[in-house]
Structure 1
Amino acid sequence: MTDENRYCGMAALTICESLLLALNDHKVLTESEILGVLRDAAATHENDDGADAEAHKAVARIIRKIDSGGNSARRP
């Protein structure tokens, strides 16, 4: 993976976290609904057993970490 690809992934994650926070702040989605989105996304990757199964498992672990630890923008 190139540095540019890695940085794109980091940027995408940051943008998505910010969007989820904004949706919650503006009462578009509840915290429970946001957790549901994260859990659904993780489950999708956990259940993928295709050619890139290990990559999908790694993505699921990252999403689960966000789910259990909160978001990076509002952590103490």
Structure 2
Amino acid sequence: HSKSKHIYIRHHFIREQVEKGMVELYFVTTDYQLMDIFTKALPRERFEFLLLRLGMKSMSSATLKRLQEEEGE
């Protein structure tokens, strides 16, 4: 019981928040599970797809250095 108690408490907390209208839950298909990028090892193509959906870009160190220099001007 003690090992699963935290799950029980969290489950009921979230359920209460949904009932109060504080949290809305939406179904998201596997293809659009954006958090996979933070929790799984992904093939490059999948990683880049999710990166774009998050509004992020992958940049080389040279690009980052140039942007940093431009910011300092």
Provide the TM-score with structure 2 as the length reference.
0.30
